[in-house]
Structure 1
């Protein structure tokens, strides 16, 4: 479930940040995203930092350490982590602040080509020796053959368009909370879902990833199984009374699964 976002940065958090960066001049609440209780641009006398945080007893606080572990290995495609603090019952990450807007996944958007290039670059990053969940484990509840998703590639896995920032021709990938280890074609496959949700047909979405080496090497059986597992996953997330966002993703996952098994024809 999404984590509720605070609309104000608590005073004890600001004090801890000030101890590290110098006096805080201004804070700007960041509204998008689902994984943090705190997400804000913090302006200090020495510069601006993007801060995301969870309470130390939050059930997903482990995602903070995962982002910290991954960050040194994804320089050039992700903002740099400046510090990791654990003050007063909070777990806080401070990243270099970057300007950028969320990627547009519409069929006519020039962002789509830039994101494909980003995926190609990510596919060249070796998977670091840090604790990561495996995709077979993550998808075991939704597939009879989760072993088909195994591999030793670093995967981001959350291609929500707000996690892809576009600025003056450059593209950065943020929010590595759900980074995992698995087959290299899985990130392109997950992006296919978001492209469909953005207005592509399933066939158009697959054409967008067709030139990626990881995709072209993917076994058809494995991709078919992943499409079906993704449809099951999004049906569970949507439930009986989905909000517009989850309803759109459930529809996209269903459309892709039908495309893969031929029932859409």
Structure 2
């Protein structure tokens, strides 16, 4: 998080849209953890209350994730900070959230946050994906990386999945984990979120054995056929190889690719 900035650090047209919803803005603290948002900021309003605002230009290739996040919010059972408003105009798509004080989750071995993240994941596993929200299914999302349609069917399910378990997307506050950035929410089998978390745990210093030990208490994990998880691990390795090859070179995509390959080899 960067130091407090001037109000002029908000683009003027975006600030106008925000103040139409909030009234005068007293101060701005720009945040830098997110990868996709053009604006991510904590705002203190004239009455000294705080809100969080994230937004993208209306022509951004991922602007659809803003609507997805707004639509899914009322179905997250308090796991996500509450969306206060969603406004578009003047070339911007903006979301206002309740502000949650917290720290990003620490995924390193021995962290006290790991159990809190698992508890949130466990709670989410009992949440059905809402039929009123247009969500991609995990078979759809993984179809590029799996040749066998019978394997793809094993990724299907009716559970609401977060799927983006980057530690910056998990806030630890008041002894619990809150999940942010729901733009990639999907519909699928309940074991998939813990499977995706395994890769992030490996990136954070866990061995594959240690990472799987962290997710083993999740009821959907140990109830799932081992060969299904093996297939998913191989698909993830292919997916991250594709991302690392096609995206602009970055350290984190390389690390994710290496972690996914490490996990897939372990599953063999």
TM-score normalised by L of structure 2? 0.92
- Note if 1:27 corresponds to 2:28: yes
Structure 1 position 126, deviation (Å): 1.9
Structure 1 residue 232 and structure 2 residue 238: aligned?
yes
Matched, 1:172 2:184: no
Structure 2: 5+ residue stretches without partners: 1-7
TM-score (ref. length: structure 1): 0.93
- Structure 2 partner of 1:139: 142
| Structure 2 residue 259 is matched with structure 1 residue 257 | no
User: Does the residue aligned with 1:107 lie in a helix, a strand or coil?
Assistant: coil
Question: Of the candidates 73, 76, 92, which is equivalent to residue 74 of structure 1?
Answer: 76
Say yes or no: does 1:247 pair with 2:254.
yes
Instruction: Please state whether the residue corresponding to 1:149 is helix, strand or coil.
Output: coil
Could you tell me how far 1:90 is from its partner in structure 2? 0.8
Name the structure 1 match of 2:3. none
Which of 169, 180, 187 aligns to 1:181? It is 187
1:84 is aligned to 86
Cα distance in 2 for residues equivalent to 1:181 and 1:126: 8
Q: Give 1:148 deviation, angstroms.
A: 2.0
Deviation at 1:20, TM superposition (A): 1.0
**Equivalent position of 2:99 in the other structure:** 97
- Aligned residue for 1:222? 228
Q: Which moved more, 1:62-71 or 1:34-43?
A: 34-43
Say whether residues 1:39 and 2:46 are aligned partners: no
Structure 1 window deviating more from structure 2 (235-244 vs 194-203): it is 235-244
Match of 1:159 among 162, 165, 174: 165
Q: Distance in 2 between matches of 1:158 and 1:232?
A: 17
| Pairing 1:198–2:201 present | no
Secondary structure at 2:127's aligned position in 1?
A: coil
Q: For 1:133-191, what per-residue CA distance to the aligned partner results, in whole angstroms no more than 9, with x for missing partners?
A: 11111111111232221111100000000000012312100000000001110000000
State the distance in 2 between where 1:127 and 1:48 align.
30
Q: CA deviation at 1:8?
A: 3.2
Post-superposition shift, 1:72?
0.3
CA-to-aligned-CA distance 1:212-233 (integer Å, 9 cap, x gap): 1111121222111110010011
4+ runs deviating over 3 angstroms: none
Hey, what does 1:3 align to over in structure 2? none
Tell me how many residue pairs correspond in the alignment: 255
Report how far residue 242 of structure 1 moved.
3.9
Distance in 2, matches of 1:36 and 1:147, equals 33
Shift in Å at residue 247 of structure 1?
A: 1.6
The more displaced of 226-235 and 55-64 is: 55-64
Question: Matched residues in 2 for 1:155 and 1:73: separation?
Answer: 11
Q: Which moved more, 1:11-20 or 1:63-72?
A: 11-20
Mapped to 2, the partners of 1:21 and 1:33 lie a distance apart of: 23
The C-alpha deviation readout for 1:116-139, integer Å capped at 9, x for no partner, is: 111111111121111101111111
Q: CA deviation at 1:44?
A: 1.0
